[in-house]
Amino acid sequence: MKGDTSGVSYSLWQMVLYMLRLGALGFGGPVALVGYMHRDLVEERSWITEADYKEGLALAQLAPGPLAAQLGIYMGYVHYRILGATLAGIAFVLPSFFMVVALGWAYVAFGGIGWMQAVFYGVGAAVIGIIVISAKKLTTKSVGKDKLLWAIYLLLAVVTVVTESEIAWLFIASGVLVWFLRAPPAWLRKSGGNALAIAPLPAVPALFSGLDSDVLTQIALFFAKAGTFVFGSGLAIVPFLYGGVVTEHHWLNEKQFVDAVAVAMITPGPVVITVGFIGYLIAGLKGATVAALATFLPCYLLTIIPAPYFKKYGKLPGVLAFVDGITAAAIGAIAGSVIVIAKRSITDIPTAVIAVVTVLLLLKFKKLQEPVVIAAAALLGLAIYPLTH
């Protein structure tokens, strides 16, 4: 289905080429990527109106999955509907997917060689600093001084640290709690508040677990769950992946998982593309392809299906309250994941120094790009690792 393209100043293929370029060169994580889209598509090229951009951004924040990828899909949808959304989404994700698969091949082929271990020795520590700053920015922006959201945030942070995994149903429960407390639906008000029970929710993720199947099917089910239930920025998926990939399925060890997060940081495009690297380590190219498709398909569907209706219902108080609760929970999980991953990445004084210096540099130099920090950390790793090991 094609939308109304009368008066549109660009072709579908121009949008596809733009997304391809952004996916290949867009460093800086989700906040930077959505900023590039606004600068390029709204301000400079005038392909997308301010109203359409804000609508797409709101929908991307509401739905689970990677923020930047969902906004890219919506930008394709605005004038070229499902075909535009499909091609724009593929173009945005494909470059970084090829990069992480190539890095996965190199990691498997040369993982035992000193220089590869040395690079990740430095980069893994720098990743901790980057996530610390991301968690701080997200907390300040989204939680603010709201006491209810702070309670949810702290609860999810503690649960993530204690369990070393993300409990998906707590995200949904957090959204429902804020919704019921701040904008209760009519049926709840009529029942006097006795219908707050949400006991069935824990069973939802269980539908995806406990299935006896081959590895590729297990990969598909697990990563589909990640794409369906993880809210927040790309980094929100980190604790969820850790709980499933390392703790539950034992597909990767802790060091391999930290390296996978580092790969996500040194490649352009969505942070969530690390699932391709993880899938490659588990089951080669087939594993990478299945993991990526399973992760991005839910976010694609959750963008194009509600798109026609979002303008009408997106500003309802109940929807906004639900989003606030889920966002606070997601950011709390990110904060908890910093501690979980730091325990594995910061192993000695040099790695601790690299992590702390990363935090200080990013605080002082607001425009400093993460890839620059990652490159510097890699060089430090090459220099320091042989001396400490």
Two tokens, residue 17: 């080429």
Pick the closest to residue 61 from 51, 73, 70, 72 (CA basis): 70
134 and 233 Cβ atoms separated by less than 8 Å: yes
The pLDDT assigned to 65 comes to 79
- Measured CA to CA, the distance from residue 37 to residue 18 in angstroms comes to 10
- Measured CA to CA, the distance from residue 165 to residue 171 in angstroms comes to 13
60 and 130 Cβ atoms separated by less than 8 Å: no
pTM > 0.85 = no
104 and 120 Cβ atoms separated by less than 8 Å: no
Amino acid at 388: T
12 and 92 Cβ atoms separated by less than 8 Å: no
The pLDDT assigned to 233 comes to 55
Give the DSSP letter of residue 197: -
12 and 84 Cβ atoms separated by less than 8 Å: yes
143 and 373 Cβ atoms separated by less than 8 Å: no
Run means of pLDDT, 10 residues per run, the chain, 389 residues: 70 96 80 81 91 82 81 94 95 94 89 72 83 77 84 91 76 87 75 46 42 78 85 66 88 86 77 90 94 93 87 74 80 80 84 92 84 87 88
Two tokens, residue 211: 């299935």
